[in-house]
Chains A and B, each alone.
Chain A
Amino acid sequence: MSLDNILNNWSDYRKGAEEGGHHDYEHRWTMAINLDVCIGCNACSVACYAENNLAVVGKERFEKGQAMHWMRIERYWDQAADMEHPEQGASFLPMLCQQCGAATCEPVCPVAATYHTPDGLNAQVYNRCIGSRYCSNNCPFRVRYFNFYSYYESAWPSPMEQQLNPDISVRDKGVMEKCTFCVQRIRTVKDRAKMEDRSVVDGEAMTACAQACPTSAIVFGDTMDESSAVSQLWKKHQVKRGTYQSTRGEKANPNLRGYRIFEELNVDPSIMYLERVREDV
């Protein structure tokens, strides 16, 4: 990527933030996560570990906050004082890279290792990354993970390295990494579609987490395709891309559960969450 490209990418970012999704996208990979059916089983996280060659860092490093879970399940507890069974107040939030349309991580990268692809994804090019960690400091979702060590030395003792996915590189020390929406799967699907002279069909591209989810809480697809399952969901819950809307509290219809995290920051996340419906405990 030349200097021109970097500057164009930055101006894209600015326009994206101000005008709301002006990019000429080929695809717009998007996700919808239904928190009402999420049971917090962590299958998505495990699937992500298997698919994306994520290293298991061990207890000590985990405590230091160095775990490499691209997909993590956050737990929240209801704080009501009069609750008889506080464990009933648990709720889960699968947190992964939101693939923002106007990502805050992109303009701060000094070497353009993270940039916006024509598919609407925030790419992370490992070869280009110099490990400045500006991106992770600028990410409001805290979903970028830094390789503080050469984890591959201990994470896959022989013969475990045989199970590594050859479609994605094993990252070394000093490189930032994050959820890619399983770009290797998207790439495979697009390649196949190109070979057969057709466009990508809805449901063909699927992330590992969506595939592993036992309750189908995660729906993945292309919102450029109006008929895809994920576009239908976004439409149904009246969540729009690009525009700033304070969805919570202002909705007339309580059945519209869709919201995006930190929408007020206007980063245009690609993941819509569907609120959990709580019954009184």
Chain B
Amino acid sequence: MVVSNRSVNPSARRRNFIGPAKMGFVCLLALMVLLVAPTAMAEKYSVTPPTGVYEGKDVKQPIEFPHNTHVKENGINCMYCHTYARRSKVAGIPPTSKCMGCHKVIATDKPRIQKLTKYWEDKTPPPWKKVHDLPDFVHFTHEKHLKTLVFDREFPVENVKEVCAFCHGELENMTVARKVKPLNMGFCVRCHIENKELGAPGDCWKCHK
């Protein structure tokens, strides 16, 4: 799967007023830009996602959180809840207050939401379990990966789940998150070697600590 850049060419929008004499030249120029730019951008910004599958174990969570309902049916962005992904090393688990922001009114009759409301009223956070856990000797930052793969590529943020899926699998088809990618060194390194042009480092000390 190769994800190409989908942003609209900005020069196409900026043609406000041009005299008729220059029109032919501008048209030629625009044609050239339109022809050349997509291939150049595709080359520059295309990303080869890491390969490999892994049969992860089921992690039993305190509340069986349905990712599919939130992501697929309601189209909520990954970074709405995992809000720290773009600004820190860890993507983070949302605080219960974020859940309650919606679930004070939405689906309050469901048993899972009632369980959540109980946690909220008892002022105890649900003891969520970590699913994607890297060893302590590995330095991994979500923010830099998102910067390179999403923001610097001008990849549409509303489709960020496609980038998240590189390492986390298609969570829109899962209920409780499950590890489906190996997340071992070979998995990381293969992607880093293939995407050297994007600035993926190959130095041991970039990740090992």
Q: Which of A's residues lie within 8 Å of B, judged by CB? A: 1, 115, 117-119, 121, 123, 125-128, 166-170, 183-184, 187, 191, 194-195
- Residues of chain A contacted by B139 (CB below 8 angstroms): 167, 184, 187
Q: Which of B's residues lie within 8 Å of A, judged by CB? A: 136-137, 139, 141, 143-144, 147, 203-206, 208-209
- Whether A128 pairs with B204 at a CB distance below 8 angstroms is yes
- Residues of chain A contacted by B143 (CB below 8 angstroms): 191, 195
- Whether A118 pairs with B203 at a CB distance below 8 angstroms is yes
- Residues of chain A contacted by B203 (CB below 8 angstroms): 117-118, 123
Give the shortest distance, in Å, between A177 (CB) and chain B (any CB).
12
Give the shortest distance, in Å, between B136 (CB) and chain A (any CB).
6
- Whether B147 pairs with A183 at a CB distance below 8 angstroms is no
- Residues of chain B contacted by A170 (CB below 8 angstroms): 136
- Residues of chain B contacted by A166 (CB below 8 angstroms): 136
B139, B203, B205 pick with most chain A CB within 10 angstroms: B205
Which of the residues B137, B141, B144, B205 comes within 8 Å of A183, measured between beta carbons? Answer: B205
- Residues of chain B contacted by A168 (CB below 8 angstroms): 209
- Residues of chain A contacted by B136 (CB below 8 angstroms): 166, 169-170
Give the shortest distance, in Å, between B183 (CB) and chain A (any CB).
15
Give the shortest distance, in Å, between A190 (CB) and chain B (any CB).
9
- Top 10 A-B pairs, shortest CB-CB distance: A169-B137, A123-B205, A125-B204, A125-B208, A117-B205, A168-B209, A117-B203, A169-B136, A169-B209, A184-B209
Question: Would you list 11 pairs from A and B whose C-beta atoms are within 8 A, ordered by A residue?
Answer: A115-B204, A117-B204, A121-B205, A125-B205, A127-B208, A166-B136, A169-B209, A183-B205, A183-B209, A187-B139, A194-B144
